[in-house]
Amino acid sequence: MRELISIDDLSAQDLADVLDLATQFAEVQKRDMPKVPALRGRTVVLAFFEDSTRTRTSFDIAARRLSADVVNFSAGASSLKKGESLRDTIETITAMGVDAIVVRHASSGVPTAISGWTDAAVVNAGDGWHQHPTQALLDSFTIRDHFGSLEGKRIALVGDILHSRVARSNAAAFSKLGAEVVVVAPKTLLPSTLDGWPVTVETNLDAVIGDLDVAYFLRIQKERMGSGLLPSDREYRTRYGLTVERAARLADDALIMHPGPMNRGVEIDPEVADDPRAVVLGQVANGVPVRMAVLYSVLGPGRFDHEDELEAVAAS
Residue 105 pairs in a beta bridge with 127
Question: Which one of 56, 65, 105, 132 is the catalytic residue?
Answer: 132
Among positions 46-105, residues that touch another protein (CB under 8 A) are 85-88, 105
- Say which DSSP state 147 is in: H
Q: What are phi and psi of 3, to 5 degrees?
A: -155, 165
- 285 by Cβ neighbours in 10 Å (0-12 / 13-18 / 19+) ranks as middle
Catalytic site includes residue 258: no
Catalytic site includes residue 35: no
- Say which DSSP state 207 is in: G
Residue 154 pairs in a beta bridge with 180
β-pairing, 180-184 vs 100-105, is: unpaired
Kindly state the smallest distance separating residue 261's Cβ from another protein, in Å: 20
**Site for another protein contains 112 (CB under 8 A):** yes
Query: Letter for the amino acid at 112?
Result: T
Count of residues interacting with another protein (CB under 8 A) = 27
Residue 82 CA to residue 99 CA, distance in Å, equals: 26
Among positions 252-311, residues that touch another protein (CB under 8 A) are none
Among positions 126-165, residues that touch another protein (CB under 8 A) are 127-131, 165
Question: Which one of 55, 89, 134, 142 is the catalytic residue?
Answer: 55
Question: Which one of 23, 54, 239, 277 is the catalytic residue?
Answer: 54
Catalytic site includes residue 104: yes
Among positions 4-43, residues that touch another protein (CB under 8 A) are 8
Q: What are phi and psi of 198, to 5 degrees?
A: -85, 55
Kindly state the smallest distance separating residue 208's Cβ from another protein, in Å: 21
Catalytic site includes residue 82: yes
Catalytic site includes residue 163: no
- 85 by Cβ neighbours in 10 Å (0-12 / 13-18 / 19+) ranks as exposed
Prior bond of 301 cis (ω within 30°):
no
User: In the complex with another protein, which residue's Cβ is closer, 193 or 316?
Assistant: 193
Question: Which one of 42, 56, 65, 104 is the catalytic residue?
Answer: 104
Kindly state the smallest distance separating residue 162's Cβ from another protein, in Å: 8
Residues annotated catalytic, as ranges: 54-55, 82, 104, 132
Binding site for another protein (CB under 8 A): 8, 85-88, 105-110, 112-113, 127-131, 165, 168, 191-197
